[in-house]
Amino acid sequence: MISKGPAKPIFRKVLVEEDRGSALLAVLMVSMLLAVLALSMSSNIMTDFSMSHDLESQKRALQTADSGNNVLKNNLPGLDLSATLQATTVVPRYINYPEPTPGTDADNYFQRNPLAPLEAMNVDFENLPSPIGTRNATGLLTPAGGVSLGSGARYFAKITDNDDGDGDLTTDVDGIVILRTLAIQRLGAGQMSTYGGTVKNSVSIVETMIEREQTFEFKAGLTLYGPCAQPAQGGSLLVGNSFNVDGYDHPDMTLSDLTGGTHSHVIGGDSAGINAVYDDSGAGDGNGAFETASTMIWLPTKGTIVGDSSDFGATPSLQDGTQAIRDDPNPDATNLFDATYLMNLIDGISAFADTTIPDGSSHSGDMGDDDHPEITYCPGDCTINGGSGAGMLLVQGRLDLTGNFDYRGLILVVGDGEFDESGTVDILGGIFVAKTIDNLDGTWSYGEPRFTLGGNSSLYYQSSGIRLAYGVIPMKQLGWRQISSEIEPAF
């Protein structure tokens, strides 16, 4: 009998193979899940990175827009706002985008932008494609290609007129304009395809409404503010017969023309040689200063005082201009009645002075010119004994004008409010004299100004010269906002 060994465990081998297959399948499934999870995490990381990068670029674009807006706002003083609104710049066009129908709200939105938003988002301004044409843009304050700040940052800016009631958006009548600045921040290449390349821009737009300070828009060669007027210490109001106060407007004249013998002026306006102003209807407004000056005018051997508007006619041209200021459509005109407002304004202006003359000193030399008007400030008494200048001369004490001195613009003598003109002086623009008294409680009031006109001096009123002067004052910001697609559908 033949013996048999134990039976081979075939079924065990089968079970082992099945276990190995199941394990392999499980490993594959786990690997696939891990791969999917890794891909998902990688995608989320990339998305988070892209979002973070986009948010950072958007933040930089907003900072660039706000910075550019501040730069341009500080450059506006001195500019003729109407001329700037009307100036046309030829701008390259890179995308054939549809322009809104003229006169519609969408067109109003579009016209405020210095650059079409579609181009701002999609054109690589660091590597410009070939333009497909051009368009005309008005009111641009930057070159057609914007201002580059490096690292892909660039801004464009323009001004447009507000609705000031005249129906003409190219002519400013109230000193208020809208300054809009559009900024781009270039994103990295390859992040998103775009027109003419592989670069996309983050875009931000900010807009401010700003107003020109027009408190000093005087309509007389010499404006005196106070209940009465007195002569400068040691003198008389009017001395000799060589001085000349010409209250007619001389819009197209220069001092060289006038002193050289050429003379033309506008007849039929409302500007006087000397204007007496004081806001006190119960006491006769500026009648006290008016009567004091008129008494002196009638004395013999005095110079000439001529002008358009006057209680005496064209010669001598002297008037109480208080009511005219009340009726003036200029909303800033009546600010002159408030001594506290005036002194706070002057305090702000003095902080931007180009030249400061120390109290009690003498000065001669240039103080700006027509192309570069300046603010010259003296915190106390000073003597100007020669030279020339243009812009605004602000003195918070006594001002003596002696020697040979030529000036175009506005001279403000406040504080002590004492003015003595006795040299060979020629002024084209205007002079304002007012004594202001510190009440020691944060408020100010008006006293009696002192002045003397004499020597071989001439004062010619010029409205454009006065605008040149108050144009150098920093403009007031009335509002700020960031523009989004929710605000303007065209963006």
- Shared domain for 207 and 224, answered yes or no, is no
- Shared domain for 173 and 319, answered yes or no, is no
Domain count, the chain: 2
User: Range of 185's domain?
Assistant: 52-212+476-483
Per-residue pLDDT of 221-253, as tens digits, reads: 999 998 887 777 666 666 666 788 899 999 888
- Above 60 in pLDDT, residue 2? no
- Shared domain for 199 and 267, answered yes or no, is no
Per-residue pLDDT of 250-274, as tens digits, reads: 988 898 898 888 888 888 778 888 8
- Shared domain for 203 and 109, answered yes or no, is yes
Query: CA–CA distance from 117 to each of 137, 147, 179, 261 (Å)?
Result: 14, 16, 16, 55
Specify the range with the lowest mean pLDDT, choosing from 31-40, 306-315, 403-412: 31-40
- Shared domain for 198 and 65, answered yes or no, is yes
Query: CA–CA distance from 150 to each of 52, 92, 126 (Å)?
Result: 21, 21, 10
Give the pLDDT score at 378.
96
Per-residue pLDDT of 133-169, as tens digits, reads: 998 999 999 999 999 999 889 999 999 998 877 677 7
Token readout for 371 is 């192309």
Per-residue pLDDT of 108-134, as tens digits, reads: 788 889 998 889 988 989 889 999 999
Give the pLDDT score at 301.
46
**For residue 424, is it within any domain?**
yes
- Above 90 in pLDDT, residue 180? yes
Model's pTM, two decimal places?
0.76
**For residue 133, is it within any domain?**
yes
* For residues 170-181, average pLDDT: 89
Using pLDDT thresholds of 50, 70 and 90, give the confidence band for residue 18.
Answer: low
Q: Which residues contact 94 (CB under 8 A, 6 or more apart)?
A: 119, 123, 128, 129, 131, 132, 195, 196
Per-residue pLDDT of 293-303, as tens digits, reads: 655 554 444 56
- Shared domain for 203 and 306, answered yes or no, is no
- Shared domain for 231 and 347, answered yes or no, is yes
- Shared domain for 79 and 63, answered yes or no, is yes
Tell me the chain's radius of gyration from C-alpha atoms: 36
Rounded CA gap, 287 and 266, in Å?
Answer: 27
87 against 285, higher pLDDT: 87
**For residue 15, is it within any domain?**
no
**For residue 418, is it within any domain?**
yes
- Shared domain for 249 and 375, answered yes or no, is yes
**For residue 238, is it within any domain?**
yes
Give the chain's mean pLDDT.
83
- Shared domain for 461 and 415, answered yes or no, is yes
**For residue 412, is it within any domain?**
yes
- Shared domain for 167 and 259, answered yes or no, is no
**For residue 460, is it within any domain?**
yes
Per-residue pLDDT of 26-84, as tens digits, reads: 667 767 777 666 666 655 554 444 455 567 888 899 999 999 999 998 888 778 888 89
Per-residue pLDDT of 338-386, as tens digits, reads: 999 999 999 999 999 999 999 999 999 889 999 899 999 999 999 999 9
- Shared domain for 265 and 291, answered yes or no, is yes
**For residue 24, is it within any domain?**
no
